[in-house]
Amino acid sequence: MSSILRMRWTIAPKTAPRPHINCNRCGGLKAYHSSGKFRVNANGKRIDAWLIYRCVDCENSWNFGILERCNRRDIESALLQALENNDPALARRHAFDVVALRSRIGRVEEFPEAAVHKEMLGDRPENITALELQLGLEVPTALRLDRLLASQLGISRSRLQAWEEKRSLVVGQDGAKVLRKPARTGTAIRVDLAGESDREAIISAAGG
């Protein structure tokens, strides 16, 4: 019988990145947040669409381009409907697209806080000696993998490093290089818990 507890962690960042923009009302560089609302403009057969951002201090608006002069026939009807109806999932996806934001704005502030949904894969083994985690992300996050693991397993980052050094902790094929980078979807993690005095506490924290 397997002694490995297999879990899937789905990570949902709580706060979207915030571009810092010169606000013509406040008179200086200010953080802007997504309003969750789109602006759609039709000029004949051409469609423009933007995600509306607001200054955190004065609510001045800034438009983040989503579609630019696109022919209506080239836009999926479901996408156009979602834009016109301010679909929350679509707005969230674009608000968390930090790569696209950085292509338009030089300074973008990211936030590491995230909620983690934990799901057991298969049955729970009776005598667990190892933990395998599969990571999934709803949207990209700035949360470092070592910080995620330490907070969710209830251990220190120095202990993670010690585990990695003695190969009790294995992350994909890259090990410590990945631990210090933001968590990424598809990452596979294995932790050997044999001999750990607080094994049951770690298993419980992992969701088992």
Write down the H helix ranges in 138-198.
145-153, 157-165, 176-179
Q: Are residues 189 and 118 in the same domain?
A: yes
The predicted pLDDT at position 2 comes to 66
Query: Among 126, 123, 125, 143, which residue's Cα sits nearest to residue 135?
Result: 143
Average pLDDT, the chain: 92
Sort strands 18-23 and 28-43 into parallel, antiparallel or unpaired.
antiparallel
User: 77-89: per-residue pLDDT in tens?
Assistant: 999 999 999 999 9
Quick check: 174 pLDDT over 90? Answer: no
Q: Are residues 188 and 151 in the same domain?
A: yes
Query: Among 196, 164, 188, 190, which residue's Cα sits nearest to residue 177?
Result: 164
Q: Are residues 155 and 129 in the same domain?
A: yes
Contact 157, 198 (CB under 8 A): no
The range of the structural domain enclosing residue 150 comes to 4-14+112-206
User: 19-37: per-residue pLDDT in tens?
Assistant: 999 999 999 999 999 999 9
**CA pair distance 172, 1, nearest whole angstrom:** 24
Q: Are residues 35 and 103 in the same domain?
A: yes
CB atoms within 10 A of CB 141: 24
**Three-state DSSP state, 115:** strand
**CA pair distance 174, 146, nearest whole angstrom:** 13
Q: Are residues 86 and 129 in the same domain?
A: no
For 69-78, the CB contacts below 8 A with 24+ separation are 70/46, 71/45, 71/46, 71/47, 72/42, 72/45, 72/46, 72/47, 73/45, 75/47
Give the mean pLDDT of 107-115: 91
Q: Are residues 175 and 137 in the same domain?
A: yes
Q: Are residues 32 and 52 in the same domain?
A: yes
Give the mean pLDDT of 62-75: 94
Torsion over CA: 96, 99, 100, 105 (sign): positive
Q: Are residues 24 and 8 in the same domain?
A: no
Q: Are residues 122 and 201 in the same domain?
A: yes
AA letter at 22:
N
Q: Show which of 109, 139, 173 is a domain's final residue.
A: 109
Query: What's the DSSP call for residue 105?
Result: -
The predicted model scores a pTM of 0.77
Q: Show which of 71, 93, 109 is a domain's final residue.
A: 109
Q: Are residues 73 and 145 in the same domain?
A: no
Cα dihedral value 52, 143, 172, 175, nearest 10: 140
Number of domains forming the structure of the chain: 2
Q: Are residues 117 and 173 in the same domain?
A: yes
CB within 8 A of 118, min separation 6: which ones? 7, 8, 9, 206, 207
The predicted pLDDT at position 66 comes to 95
CB within 8 A of 88, min separation 6: which ones? 36
Q: Show which of 78, 109, 140 is a domain's final residue.
A: 109
Q: Are residues 90 and 43 in the same domain?
A: yes
**CA pair distance 149, 189, nearest whole angstrom:** 10
The predicted pLDDT at position 172 comes to 81
